[in-house]
Amino acid sequence: MTKTRRRGVELEKAIFQATREILATEGLAGLTFPKVAAAAGTSKPVIYRRWKSPFELSLAAVQDQIKAENNGRTDEVVFTGDSLREDLMQVMKRFVISMNTFGQSYVTTFFSVLNQEQGTVISKIVEESSTIDIHAIDRVLERAQTRGEITTTAFSNDLKLLPFEWLRYHVFTRETIGDDKVKLLVDDILVPAYRHAGSASEKA
């Protein structure tokens, strides 16, 4: 009988997988090297040799998943709608999908809990995705302006980010985001807001 002994990337994949499972069930606070080793069916020294802290391991595990699922990022989408509403629906639906897959554990585990230095690392990640989100909205707005649906594309970043942040909130609270929320967002919030900017009353 040949004792099978995994090593290299194969072993690493198993460790990442185990890490993500613990992250999902117990959060970052419950992630310890001994637990990971047990869950991955390997030994503690293997983990300690590779990573300095559970936090670093968690980042690696999440990035591994993002890399694996990195087909169809919100960034490089081709918009095909023929109205502001259609384009917005495309952006938001795509966002919800990516959120409900890898985003689920990624966002949920990484907020709160993080003390001092760790917070900055997460801030970086959020900032990056914010850039992508804003970029997507900008393109949608430009298309809408070309069509003549809106009269300006000059909106604050706060406004542009609001829909994404609101959806993320619901990920925090472990709710499942359904089509109803997306529809509400697009039809009752975003479209009116963007159209409203062209109107008269701009109070200071």
Which of these ranges, 16-24, 39-47, 55-63, 140-148, lies near DNA under the rule CB under 7 A? 39-47
Which of these ranges, 2-10, 82-90, 105-113, 136-144, lies near DNA under the rule CB under 7 A? 2-10
How many Cβ atoms from other residues are within 10 Å of residue 81's Cβ?
A: 16
Q: Is 148 left (phi over 0), alpha (psi -120 to 50) or beta?
A: left
CA within 13 Å, CB half, 89: 14
Closer CB to DNA, residue 54 or residue 163?
54
The verdict on 109 binding a second copy (CB under 8 A) reads: yes
Nearest distance in Å: CB 48, DNA: 5
Among 19, 22, 33, 89, interactor with DNA by CB under 7 A:
33
Closer CB to DNA, residue 45 or residue 198?
45
- 153 in helix, strand or coil? coil
Instruction: Tell me how far CA of residue 190 lies from CA of 72, 124, 196, in angstroms.
Output: 23, 27, 10
Copy the structure tokens of residue 30. Answer: 């419950």
The verdict on 25 binding DNA (CB under 7 A) reads: no
Q: Which of residues 143-182 bind a second copy (CB under 8 A)?
A: 156, 158-159, 162, 165-166, 168-170, 172-174, 180-181
Residue with tokens 């942040």: 165
